[in-house]
A = this chain, B = another copy of it.
């Protein structure tokens, strides 16, 4: 990877999404903070960034459904995935000791995920708009009784010290990020099981139709890794289905399955084929 790459992410510098970009690409890659998830898409479409990173699912809290809708509404391609291990760090001014802290600022979800640890340390949680923003606030004010829960990256960006790592109560805390680009990945590999493909489709509202759609994959021993449904606005209780399956789109068996699927769908779009990210997960 070269330094000409620029990765758009949602949030302030030091956000978990930025740390993901640096882990996936390279610590020296350029990053572009964006206000909203929509802006990540437009940054890539317009060429201001070569790639975008988009959180799509957390292993504790579930799918980020709005981002599924954005994948459909935009024309970008998924070219990668990354399972980011969410490790919440407790940040403070460099010379401050843990015993001096009274309050801890962060996003409500980060505070909730560290509830037991914070109670143990006797620290009062204070809800803020985001994690990296809390670290920036700490840096700007120089507050000495206040800490922030944010990423390791945020400590670097805002010159703060890391007083504790892995503050999260449940270590099985992963966020799956998608890597987006303007053009699909060219895959010529021979091991379909090392790849994943994401598609979205809709079908006529008929009994048994989802079963038939799944048989397209099951009858060819293609493993589904995720199914998600989203409402179709204007059609109450009809759905767009998002499916991830093992394999890449040009592998003959996947190609035939997708051909078969078009016999059932009224709409089908391939969102992308990309290398599967495998890690050893903490599991309870």
Contacts and interface: CB of A to CB of B under 8 A. Distances in A.
A218 interface: yes
Contacts of A58: 231
Given A208-B223, A214-B211, A214-B214, A234 B61 contact: no
Question: Which of A58, A233, A236 gathers the greatest number of chain B CB atoms within 10 Å?
Answer: A236
A210 B221 contact: no
Chain A, interface size category, equals 35 or more
A158 to B, nearest CB: 29
Contact of A283 (B207, B228, B235): B235
Copies of this protein in the complex? 2
Interface of A: 57-63, 65, 83, 170, 172, 174, 176, 207-208, 210-212, 214-215, 217-218, 221, 223-231, 233-237, 281-284
Given A58-B231, A59-B237, A170-B233, 18 more contacts: A59-B231, A59-B236, A60-B231, A62-B65, A62-B230, A63-B65, A172-B235, A207-B221, A207-B223, A208-B218, A208-B223, A208-B224, A210-B214, A210-B227, A211-B211, A211-B215, A211-B218, A234-B284
Which 9 A-B pairs rank lowest in CB-CB distance, beginning with the nearest? A234-B284, A211-B218, A59-B236, A207-B223, A236-B281, A211-B214, A208-B218, A172-B234, A62-B231
